[in-house]
Structures are given as structure tokens and as C-alpha cells.
């Protein structure tokens, strides 16, 4: 087994474990920590594929900024341990079968030998950062700017809602 | 055995390099505490540590022993897993950051196991981004320690520090964009190499802090540097931004409930972060391993600066050591002094070694200037109030660094630099 493959399996196993523990943990902080493990492991997997820029951004944005905000809010609210409840009806009759179907279709894709799965491992591009930036700011500049506008609207909406509660 | 070593040369060399770097960094950390106490003491007209060993030089060893043998109580009601995880996280992340820092451009002049040995652990194309990713994660060590301790002081310290680190991360990242625009890359090595083409070949003019290139571009990043270093001090929780551990308000902030070696781990993490920031400031704004002097033959005498510094200092250490009565003073100080003298003399005698040592010498010299600056700021400036801290971060540093980005980008476009 080559070292790269070994690192892949370690990271993949950690990601899955983190995801399972995210669902099973009782305390919100432990769940958030598990989610951070998942994010960092995914970044490691991107790194193995040669997508260095995406890996770093994954950690900076998801592992850093967003999850710090989660933890910050949980700490501020001083949220305690949650109680486990039974499955809701929606989860029991719609969620579980859908999750199983998704897993099955993904597994079928992976097992079937095809170009779509193998192509991803060879994406070692020397100037990946430049290509991503020229794609973002040339070809997809309008969708990109529209998305940022959408986020701005969301921030302002949150501000308006927060101000209204004060009165 | 040899065949096995040669087959796995890459991995073995990497592991040895990691161990060596960790050893060096931890030693430097230990003596950084000594240096800090000495400098702050002299700023305040005191002597600082001077009882354990000559000039208090064995104080770090005594402190380390104390940390190891102290009782390590775990307070009641802590969240055990997170309480134990937090110091590990803080230490591991701050040590990881050092892995992407290149210390010298050339490989060692000889091959080990048939491989070129470079003075860095890894040198990725996105070195700077990886450093920022690690900075983004290092909030957790502090925040989780504060939360898990089940203590009000710790929780307040943790909350403060996470708010502070999130706020200053923005200014920190923004202040570097100017340099990135000029370098056109995230690779730390390329950022340094790009600073080598100075006006009239005068090394210091090419550094990004002045940035006067021989293509005629003149774009000092001094504003970027001031923003960068200020927010970096805040990001590493050092004075005057050390609100997370403001003694008069919060006892010791997020590490109030930590004792013994777990406390030492936070301590080492903080000092390692200081070293990383100093390395980064050197690389981004002060030309990394480049010499400040021109490289023309007339200026070749500057190659002897390490020797000129080492020989008199070694002689002084020998002279100073002989004055002491103890065995440490009589034996160890003269031995260290003799080693320094020998190193200085050896560098004069062996020009090849001297050439190789130049980048390393300049890099370490610059790092120590910044470390001194850190301690100087701690000894001089009073701690900010919390609202002042937030105002400085959001209303001063962030707009100024964004303006710096806009001006830099504008000049680059107008002058047709690219």
C-alpha cells in the first residue's frame, strides 16, 4: 500500500467517523467539533487530489470562519446537553429511505469502473489557483457577483430582523 | 539496512527534519522566555532572572523542570475530552505552521542518502494560504480551553479571544494582499525571490517594505506592514492586545484552570506563534533571507558580518564566564564562547561554508529583530480596553488595509507593471 493511499484511507475513515459522531454526540460543542474534523479531513482529501487552493480555502472558510462562529454562538448561549428523541415521522418514512437511496446510488457509481471517478485523482494542475481565479472573474463573473450580492442581502436582512426585535 | 534507508530516503529525511526543527524551535522558545524576561526587566530598570546559572541562563531549564513535576489537578465539572484536547490542539497547530516556512534557498552542499536536503520541511505553492488556514484553526485551542474549563474567568477569556481573533484575522489577511498582488503567487519562496530585483541592485530597496524594483516600480508596502504586524500581535494574543489573559480582570483568562504541563503547552504554543509571525513578517515584507546590501564585488566584505558579530561576542562570553565562581560559569560559558569564536573564525577560513550560511544568518537576524520588537511592545505599551480593541480592528486596521489593496492594485495597473 503506497503512503498516499494509506493517508487517503486514514482521512476517509476519520471523515466518516466524524460525521457519525456529529449526529450521535449529545453536546452541541462536541457535535461542532466533529463537524470540524469532517471539514479538515475533506480538506486533506482535496490536498491529496492536488487541489491545494480548494483545500486551503476549505479550512479557512469552513473549518475556520464558519465553525468558529458556530462554536462562538454555542458558547455565548451556553447551550447544555441535548436529549435524544425518537425519530420524527418525516425522518422515519421519508428521510431514512432517501438516505439509503443516496448511499446506494453513490456506491453504485463508485463500484462501476468509469472515467468519472478515476478522472478526479489525476487533477494535478500546476497553476490551479490562477485558473480558478480567471474562471471566477472572467467566465463566471456575473453569477459570482450575484452570489455575493445575495449574501449581502442576507446579512442586511439579518440586521433588520435583529433591530426589529429590539423595539 | 542501507538499502532500506535509501529506498525510503524521502520519508526518513522528512521525519528527521521535523524532529530537528521541533528541537530547535522548542529550545528557542525556552530561551525566548528568558530573553523576554531579561528585556522587560531592563526596560523597567530591574535585573530579571539572574540566580539560576550565569545571567539566569539556566532559568528556562528550571522552569521546564518545574512544569514537568508540578501537580496537575483537573478541576471538577470540566468537559474532560475538550479540556485535554485544547492544549494539544493549540500546540500542534502552532508547530504545524512552521512546516511551510522556507529558511534558506539552497539545499545543503552535500547529499544525504542521495537526496538534496533543503532547509524547509515542505514548500507548497500555496504556503501563505496554508499558514492562514492554520491561523484560522488556532482559534479553537483558546476558545475550547475557555469553554471546557467550567470557570467564568476562563469562559470570558475564551469568548474574548475568539472574538478578537476573528476580528483581526480579516485585517491580517487583507494587509497581505498588497504583497500578493506584487508577487503574483502564494509560494513563500517565490515571494522572497521576487524581492531580489532591487533598484540599482541595492538589496534593501527591493524588499516589499520599500519595493523599489529595477523595472522602476516604486510601491512601498509600509502601510500593509504596519497593519500586518499590529493584527499579528493581536492574533497571537500578545501585549498590548493580550485581553484574553488580562490578569487584573480575568486572573489568567482562558488558561486559568490549567496547570503543569498543560499550561506549558499553551505557553509554548504562544511563543511558537510569535516565531511564526516573525518569520512571516520577514518573508513578506523584509526580503526573507536576502541580504540588505548590494551584491556587487565591492560589497563582498558584508559576507563577513556573521564572523564580525560572532568573534567579539565569543571572546566577551569567555571573558565574562571566567569571572564566575561556579562550574557553570567557569566551564560552560567559556566553552560556549570558544564555540562561537571558533565558528566565527571557521567562517572566515572556509568561504564555501560562509556563502552557504549567509541566507540563514540574515533570516535569523531579521526574525530576532521582530521577536525583540514583540517584547519591546509588551514592555512599553499599556493594554487596550476591549471596546478600543474592537475599534482598532474594525474601524482602523481593516479600512486602512483595504485602502492599501486598492492603491497597490491601482498603481500596478496604471504603471502597466503586469
Tell me which residue of B374, B207, B378, B191 sits closest to B287, measured CA to CA.
B207
- Look up the ipTM and state it: 0.77
Which pLDDT score is estimated for B403? Answer: 92
Query: Which residue from B85, B129, B162 is facing A53, i.e. has the nearest CB?
Result: B129
> Average pLDDT, stretch A73-92?
75
* Residue B81 reports pLDDT greater than 70: yes
Using CA atoms in the order B64, B66, B69, B72, what is the torsion angle rounded to 10 degrees?
-100
How does residue A120 score in pLDDT terms, banded at 50, 70 and 90?
Answer: very low
Report d(CA B387, CA B8) in Å as an integer: 55
Which residue from A minimizes the CA distance to B82? A30
Q: For residue B140, list chain A residues with Cβ-Cβ distance below 8 A.
A: 36, 68, 71
> Between residues B254 and A7, which one has the greater pLDDT?
A7
Range B248-272 average pLDDT:
81
Report helix, strand or coil for B1. coil
**Are A129 and B130 in contact (CB < 8 Å)?**
no
Buried/exposed code over B328-351 (b: 16+ C-beta within 10 A; e: otherwise):
ebeebbbeebeebbebbeebbeee
Average pLDDT over residues B179-201: 82
Q: Which three cell numbers stand for residue B298?
A: 565591492
Q: Which of B374, B377, B394 is nearest to B386 (CA)?
A: B394
* pTM of the shown model: 0.84
Among all residues of chain A, which has the CA nearest to that of B155? A75
Mind telling me how many Å the CA of B102 is from chain A's nearest CA? Answer: 18
Q: Where are the domains of chain B?
A: 2-45+58-295+350-414
Residue B161: closest CA among chain A residues belongs to which residue? A72
**CB atoms closer than 10 angstroms to residue A146:** 11
Q: Count CA atoms closer than 13 A to B160's CA, side-chain side.
A: 25
Q: What SS3 state is found at B53? A: coil
Q: Assess contact for B291 and B358: CB atoms under 8 A.
A: yes
Q: Report how far residue B399's alpha carbon sits from residue A143's, in angstroms, rounded to the nearest whole number.
A: 26
Q: Which of B12, B379, B319, B158 is nearest to A75 (CA)?
A: B158
The reply to whether omega before B383 is within 30° of 0 (cis) is no
CA pair distance A137, A152, nearest whole angstrom: 19
Q: Are the beta carbons of B166 and A69 separated by less than 8 Å?
A: yes
* Mean model confidence pLDDT for chain A: 81
Per DSSP, the residues of A100-141 read: HHHHHHHHHHHHS--HHHHGGGG---TTHHHHHHHIIIIITH
Does residue A154 carry a pLDDT above 90? yes
Query: A42 near A15, Cβ under 8 Å?
Result: yes
Report DSSP letters for A70-109, one per residue: HHHHHHHHT--PPPP-PPPHHIIIIIHHHHHHHHHHHHHH
8 Å CB contact of B133 and A63: yes
Kindly state whether A48 is in contact with chain B, defined as any CB-CB distance less than 8 angstroms. no
Kindly report the average pLDDT of chain B as a whole number: 84
Q: Is the pLDDT of residue A140 over 50?
A: yes
* Segment of A41-45, A81-85, B241-245 carrying the highest mean pLDDT: A41-45
Name the closest residue on chain B to residue A75, using Cα atoms: B147
pLDDT, average across residues B191-218: 76
Supply the DSSP string of B344-371, one letter for each residue.
Answer: HHHHHH-HHHHHHHHHHHHHHHHHHHHH
Q: How far is B130 from chain A (nearest CA, A)?
A: 6
Residues of B with CB under 8 A from a CB of A: 11, 79, 81-82, 85, 124-126, 129-130, 132-133, 135-137, 139-140, 143-144, 146-147, 155, 158-159, 162-163, 165-166, 169, 186
Phi and psi at B218, nearest 5°, equal -125, 105
Cβ of B143 and A72 within 8 Å? yes
Please answer whether residues B283 and B277 qualify as being in contact, where contact means their C-beta atoms are separated by less than 8 angstroms.
no
Cell 513563500: give the residue.
Answer: B188
Amino acid at each position: 500500500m503506497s503512503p498516499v493511499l494509506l493517508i487517503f484511507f486514514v482521512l476517509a475513515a476519520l471523515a466518516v467517523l466524524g460525521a457519525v459522531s456529529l449526529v450521535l454526540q449529545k453536546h452541541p460543542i462536541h457535535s461542532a467539533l466533529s463537524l470540524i474534523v469532517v471539514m479538515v479531513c475533506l480538506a486533506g482529501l482535496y490536498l491529496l487530489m492536488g487541489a491545494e487552493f480548494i483545500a486551503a480555502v476549505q479550512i479557512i472558510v469552513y473549518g475556520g470562519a464558519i465553525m468558529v462562529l458556530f462554536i462562538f454562538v454555542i458558547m455565548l448561549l451556553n447551550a447544555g446537553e441535548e436529549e435524544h428523541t425518537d425519530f420524527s415521522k418525516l425522518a422515519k418514512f421519508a428521510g431514512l429511505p432517501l438516505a439509503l437511496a443516496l448511499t446506494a446510488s453513490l456506491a453504485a457509481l463508485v463500484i462501476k469502473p468509469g472515467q468519472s471517478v478515476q478522472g478526479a485523482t489525476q487533477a494535478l494542475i500546476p497553476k490551479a489557483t490562477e485558473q480558478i481565479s480567471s474562471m471566477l472573474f472572467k467566465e463566471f463573473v456575473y453569477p459570482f457577483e450575484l452570489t455575493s450580492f445575495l449574501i449581502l442581502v442576507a446579512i442586511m436582512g439579518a440586521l433588520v430582523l435583529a433591530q426589529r426585535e429590539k423595539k | 539496512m542501507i538499502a532500506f534507508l535509501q529506498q525510503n530516503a524521502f520519508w526518513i529525511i522528512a521525519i528527521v527534519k521535523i524532529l530537528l526543527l521541533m528541537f530547535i524551535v522548542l529550545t528557542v522558545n525556552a530561551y525566548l522566555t528568558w530573553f523576554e524576561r531579561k528585556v522587560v526587566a531592563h526596560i523597567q530598570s530591574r535585573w530579571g532572572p539572574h540566580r539560576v546559572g550565569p545571567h539566569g541562563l539556566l532559568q528556562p531549564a528550571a522552569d521546564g523542570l518545574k512544569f514537568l513535576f508540578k501537580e496537575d489537578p483537573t478541576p471538577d465539572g470540566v468537559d474532560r475530552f475538550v479540556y485535554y484536547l485544547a492544549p494539544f490542539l493549540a500546540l500542534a497547530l502552532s508547530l504545524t505552521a512552521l512546516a511551510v516556512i522556507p529558511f534558506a534557498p539552497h539545499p545543503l552542499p552535500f547529499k544525504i542518502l542521495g537526496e538534496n536536503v533543503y532547509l524547509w520541511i515542505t514548500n507548497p505553492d500555496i504556503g501563505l494560504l496554508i499558514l492562514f488556514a492554520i491561523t484560522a484553526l488556532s482559534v479553537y485551542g483558546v476558545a475550547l480551553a475557555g469553554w471546557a474549563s467550567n470557570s467564568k474567568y476562563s469562559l470570558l477569556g475564551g469568548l474574548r479571544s475568539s472574538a478578537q481573533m476573528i476580528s483581526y484575522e480579516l485585517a491580517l489577511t487583507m494587509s497581505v494582499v498588497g504583497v500578493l498582488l506584487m508577487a503574483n503567487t502564494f509560494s513563500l519562496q517565490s515571494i522572497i525571490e521576487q524581492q531580489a530585483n532591487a533598484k540599482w541592485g541595492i538589496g534593501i530597496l527591493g524588499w516589499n517594505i520599500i519595493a523599489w524594483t529595477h523595472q522602476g516600480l516604486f510601491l512601498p508596502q509600509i502601510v500593509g506592514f504596519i497593519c500586518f504586524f499590529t493584527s499579528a500581535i493581536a492574533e497571537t494574543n500578545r501585549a498590548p492586545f493580550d485581553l484574553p489573559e488580562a490578569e487584573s480582570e480575568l486572573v489568567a483568562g482562558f488558561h486559568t484552570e490549567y496547570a503543569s504541563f498543560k499550561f506549558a503547552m499553551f505557553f509554548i504554543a504562544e511563543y511558537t506563534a510569535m516565531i511564526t509571525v516573525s518569520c512571516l513578517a520577514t518573508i513578506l515584507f523584509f526580503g526573507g533571507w536576502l541580504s540588505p546590501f548590494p551584491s556587487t564585488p565591492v560589497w563582498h566584505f558584508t559576507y563577513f558580518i556573521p564572523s564580525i558579530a560572532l568573534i567579539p561576542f565569543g571572546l566577551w562570553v569567555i571573558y565574562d564566564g571566567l569571572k564566575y565562581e561556579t562550574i557553570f560559569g567557569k566551564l560552560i560559558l567559556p566553552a560556549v564562547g570558544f564555540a562561537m569564536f571558533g565558528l566565527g573564525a571557521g567562517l572566515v577560513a572556509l568561504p564555501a561554508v560562509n556563502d552557504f550560511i549567509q541566507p540563514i544568518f540574515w533570516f535569523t537576524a531579521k526574525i530576532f529583530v521582530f521577536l525583540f520588537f514583540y517584547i519591546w511592545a509588551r514592555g512599553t505599551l499599556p493594554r487596550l480596553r476591549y471596546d478600543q480593541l474592537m475599534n482598532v480592528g474594525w474601524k482602523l486596521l481593516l479600512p486602512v488595509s483595504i485602502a492599501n489593496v486598492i492603491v497597490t492594485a491601482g498603481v500596478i495597473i496604471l504603471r502597466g507593471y503586469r
